[in-house]
Structure 1
Amino acid sequence: MRKAVLICPGRGTYTKTELGSLTRFLDRNLLAHFDARRTALNQETLTALDSAASYSVSKHTRGDNASALIYACTLGDSLALQGVEIVAVTGNSMGWYSALACSGALTPQNGFELVNTMGTLMQQSLIGGQIIHPFMDENWHPNPARKAELLRIAAEINTRPDHTLTLSIDLGGMLVLAGNEAGLKAFEAAVPPEQGRFPMRLANHAAFHTALQAPVAAQGRAALPESLFGQPQKPLIDGRGQIWWPRAARKADLYDYTLGHQVTEPYDFTAAIRTAAREFAPDLFIIAGPGTTLGGAVAQCLILSHWQGMASKQDFQSRQAATPMLISMGLPEQRALVV
């Protein structure tokens, strides 16, 4: 049986292409439970959101809607896997919450409580914003000097009065920066446009993984009890690249990390994938749905980790064409390989 690392996506992955996918793939009993919880909280049900006549950026990208939709899609995909042995689970940003459930550290229902609560709190506060910018070129050649220069620009902006801008997510060949409006505008003014779309603001995203989220982290700890958490059943890789091993993880530590460091400190997705590759040497890296946008970032992480000698986009594509190692469940033809 092929060994695989399961990767859970974060915000921004449920787009108009994914509309309708949740009700096709998620267990009906789980969906009914999630809908009932949303109804009790006077929130629109996931069924209603997913079966809407059209996709609405203002509605479907809101934190209180997007987080729960993405979690439910990811969970449905993880439960559908067949013919593979999951040797570790990780995720990007909000995908950490999904990874907790997919690893068994949270039940599906408790995972929903965590995701829906934090997504709602983030939306209610909506502190700051995020911007994304590449440091790799379009052929995915590593460029550590460019990365250092972008981080230097951000650090300089962060020293200015009334400006906040820091690293939010180390995302393969991209840097996700977060801060207040002054900091974001200053970065947009400081770097020339690249590839026709960068630097790019992320709609309805707060300044995730920065100190600006400390009030949200405190609200999350007040609203969510430690008793929701348990031991992971599969090795779990967090946003520092640290492994939480089954039967060896203290649930108090897992709770503290999830509603502390993970909310207010940078999330190193590149380190998480590097750990997954080097420590578990899987045959496959499986990206759960929704969407397919995380595939490039995972491939870039593997290149930066020097995985199997890859050093560019062409190297990855050649390796992928010969023996696929990256499976995006959002692509029907790839999904069919693992369900």
Structure 2
Amino acid sequence: MRTAVVICPGRGTYGAAELGYLARHHAGAGEIAAFDAIRAAAGQETVSALDGAERFSTAKHTRGDAASPLIYACSLLDALSLTGVEVVAVTGNSMGWYTALAAAGAVTPTAGFEIANTMGTLMQAHMIGGQLVYPFLGDDWRPDPARKAALLEIVAGIGARAGHVLGLSIDLGGMLVLAGNAEGLAAFEAAVPRVDRFPMRLANHAGFHTELQAPVAAEGQSRLGVELFGGPRRPLIDGRGHIWWPHATDPAQLRAYTLGHQVTEPYDFTRAIATAAREFAPDLFIVTGPGTTMGGAVAQSLVLAGWQGLACREDVRAASAAAPFIVSMGDPGQRALLG
């Protein structure tokens, strides 16, 4: 049986093409009714209604209080549907950490939904700061640590200015996701050359994984108790590259990380993937849906880690042609590879 690391995506992965994802892939799943009940009790539109909308609305579907529960539901049910592979570890990107908690068995599906829905709702209600994305790798994906260091130096310089807040939010393969206030984001946009569509602002995204989110972290801690958390049944890799092991995890510490560091400090997805590759050497890296955008970040992270001699984009293409090792469940053709 093939071994696999499961990777749960974060915000920005449920778009127009994903409308109806739950209905297409998971109609009748009992978890959906439970998720809908939680939303209905809070006076919120159910995930079934959001997923079943006649058309996709950027204004509605990308809000934190809609995108987070939708992505969680799609991603977790994909993870739970996996058969024919041995899942040796679980990780996620940003909001995908909440899904990873449930996929690894550290929280129940409904507890994970409560966490994702609560934090997404709080971030939307506060909406402190914003995010943008900027690449530091070229089209060939060859590692360029000097360019990354130079960009981070620009970020640090802007963040040190009076009235400016800017910092690294997510280390995402060959991309830097930056977060800050309006002044900090605008200063970065003025300081760097335009590369295709970048720097690109992310709609309805707050300043995640920075000190700006301290009020959100505090309110999340007041609403979400330790009783929601347990120890994982599978190894769980967080946004520092740290592994939470079965039978060796303190639920209180896992909660403290989830509602503290994970909210207010940078999320190192690149390191999480490097840890997954080096510590577990899986046959497959399975990216759950929705969306298909995370596969590139996973591949870039493996190149940056030098995994199995990968040094550039062409190496990834050649290795994938010989034996696909990154599978995005949001892509129907790749999903079929899982049987």
TM-score w.r.t. the length of structure 1 is 0.99
**Distance (Å, rounded) in 2 between the aligned partners of 1:138 and 1:66:** 30
Q: How does 1:251-270 map to 2 (within 5 A)?
A: 251-270=251-270
Q: Deviations over 1:167-192 (max 9, x none)?
A: 00000000001000000000000001
Q: Please report how far the alpha carbon of residue 33 of structure 1 lies from its aligned counterpart in structure 2 after TM superposition.
A: 1.1
Q: Deviations over 1:5-61 (max 9, x none)?
A: 000000000010100011222353211111111111111111111111111101000
Q: Which moved more, 1:329-338 or 1:243-252?
A: 329-338
Aligned to 2:311: 311
Q: Deviations over 1:168-225 (max 9, x none)?
A: 000000000100000000000000100x200000110000000110000000000000
Equivalent position amino acid for 2:210 in 1: T
State yes or no: 1:10 paired with 2:10. Answer: yes
Aligned to 2:176: 175
**Distance (Å, rounded) in 2 between the aligned partners of 1:287 and 1:112:** 19
Q: Percent identity?
A: 65
State yes or no: 1:160 paired with 2:161. Answer: yes
Partner of 1:100, secondary structure, is helix
Partner of 2:91, secondary structure, is strand
**Distance (Å, rounded) in 2 between the aligned partners of 1:39 and 1:240:** 35
Aligned to 1:293: 293
Q: Please report how far the alpha carbon of residue 100 of structure 1 lies from its aligned counterpart in structure 2 after TM superposition.
A: 0.1
Partner of 1:106, secondary structure, is coil
**Distance (Å, rounded) in 2 between the aligned partners of 1:18 and 1:298:** 20
Partner of 1:89, secondary structure, is strand
State yes or no: 1:31 paired with 2:66. Answer: no
Aligned to 1:90: 91
Q: Deviations over 1:208-245 (max 9, x none)?
A: 00011000000000000000001100000000000000
Q: How does 1:1-339 map to 2 (within 5 A)?
A: 1-26=1-26, 27-194=28-195, 196-339=196-339
Partner of 2:337, secondary structure, is coil
Q: Which moved more, 1:203-212 or 1:22-31?
A: 22-31
**Distance (Å, rounded) in 2 between the aligned partners of 1:232 and 1:222:** 23
Q: How many residues get paired?
A: 338
Unaligned runs of 5+ in 2: none
**Which of structure 1's runs of 4+ aligned residues deviate more than 4 A?**
none
Q: Please report how far the alpha carbon of residue 333 of structure 1 lies from its aligned counterpart in structure 2 after TM superposition.
A: 1.4
Equivalent position amino acid for 1:262 in 2: Q
Q: Which moved more, 1:177-186 or 1:42-51?
A: 42-51
**Distance (Å, rounded) in 2 between the aligned partners of 1:202 and 1:169:** 13
TM-score w.r.t. the length of structure 2 is 0.99
Equivalent position amino acid for 2:304 in 1: L
Q: Please report how far the alpha carbon of residue 294 of structure 1 lies from its aligned counterpart in structure 2 after TM superposition.
A: 0.3
Equivalent position amino acid for 2:315 in 1: D
Q: CA RMSD in A?
A: 0.7
Equivalent position amino acid for 1:219 in 2: E
